[in-house]
Amino acid sequence: MATGLFSNMPTTSFFVLVVEDEPFARMVHLGAIAQLQGVSSVGVSSVSEALTIIAQQAPQVVVLDLQLQDGTGIEVMARLAEQRISTVLIVVSAHIERFRDRLRHGPHLHLLEKPAPLKELLRLIEAVQRRTSEPGPFSPLDYVQLACMGQHSVVINCVDSEVCGEIVIQNGVLWSASDEQGHGVPAFTRMVLAEGALIRVTPARSNEAPRSIEENWEGLVLDAMREKDEAARKRPPKSRSEASPPAPATPIPSGPSPAPVVAAETPPRAKEVRRPVPTSARRTVLSTEVREQFDLYVERGVRAVVERDFKTAIAAFEEAQRLWPDAPLIRHRLERLRLLQRAT
């Protein structure tokens, strides 16, 4: 075992072990994984080295070749099973068919033929990271709103079990969106409605892809919110009535029947009436000078959130709220950030 391996042990809680005896393939995999935020990785070339690393620290993901210099990847899998280490295995090999009858299929095993598409490899790793990480304070929809309001140029990468893609915003203008299912507005809607997605925000490059969204971002955000409300309304109403304690205690026999109608219809109406208010309020209430100051504080807050400096983000958003006390977006973000700060 090379002693240099111990000097490269992971410094973050999310650890990926790459077991690959081909130096070039190992270098390519490690280089791709290095692009992921909050992920540490170590590469080894043999079964013995892999078992030594596993004894030091259990990896969350193992990128595993099957045919190795001193044995097979099956031996690594067996050791993980013996020690009852819950690890997601991504097998990257040209010998999958040879070993197929010895591979136990399940949600924690993914098979990729060599050479593996790096995009798919990263998608699988990020999906595991998303499931094991604490959720961030902002959703994809939140980041779109903040980036557009703050006139930012960013790329919002969004990954979860059902969607993998990116939203591009140029100088506060919604520019394009694309995922594995398509591009344009449908892709944008799929990503902003992704609950609990893993999000990475990076500066947008000047040579991004051609524009695929011409619609105003505010209208698309409202459409996405409306679609989310409509999906919530389609849930079985009986769950609401069963969860409501007053219904069974009502002495009038006909009393429970109208209750589900009120519970199902009233909240969406209230939301639909309230949501358009921020747009008109920004245009009519804030002067040009105050709006510039407000946007400046929002920009500082967004930058701090991206850097996960929640204390600075809260201070910036509090200044923005002082300038516009009724801004619902800022109020909601502050609530989330304060909850997150208390939890950490």
> Could you read off the pLDDT tens digit of each residue along the chain, which spans 344 residues?
343 454 455 555 689 999 999 999 999 999 989 888 778 899 999 999 999 999 888 899 999 999 998 999 999 999 998 888 888 999 999 888 888 888 876 678 899 988 888 888 988 898 888 776 655 567 788 888 888 888 888 888 887 667 778 899 998 899 999 887 889 999 999 888 887 677 778 777 765 678 899 988 888 888 887 777 777 666 665 444 444 444 444 333 444 444 443 333 434 444 433 334 334 333 435 788 888 888 788 778 777 776 667 788 889 889 988 888 877 667 767 777 776 666 55
Is the CB of residue 142 less than 8 Å from the CB of residue 194?
A: no
CATH number of the domain that residue 45 is part of: 3.40.50.2300
In a domain, 19, yes or no: yes
User: Does residue 123 sit within a domain?
Assistant: yes
- Position 46 in a domain: yes
3-state secondary structure of 308: coil
pTM of the model: 0.45
Amino acid at 331: R
- Residue 60 in any domain: the answer is yes
Structural domain containing residue 69: 4-132
Record the tokens describing residue 84, joined without a space.
């009852």
Flag whether 94 is in a domain. yes
**CA atoms of 65 and 18, how far apart (whole Å):** 8
Domain-embedded: residue 124: yes
**Within a domain: 55:** yes
- 249, with CB counted inside 10 A (0-12, 13-18, 19+), is exposed
Contact, 220 vs 174, CB < 8 A? yes
**Residue ranges of E strands in the chain:** 14-19, 39-44, 61-64, 67-68, 71-72, 88-93, 109-113, 154-159, 164-170, 173-179, 182-183, 198-203
CA atoms within 13 A on the CB side of 298: 26
CA within 13 Å, CB half, 94: 7
- Rounded CA gap, 36 and 18, in Å? 15
- Please report whether residue 88 resides in a domain: yes
Q: Give the number of domains in the chain.
A: 1
Half-sphere exposure of 4 (CA within 13 A, CB side): 4
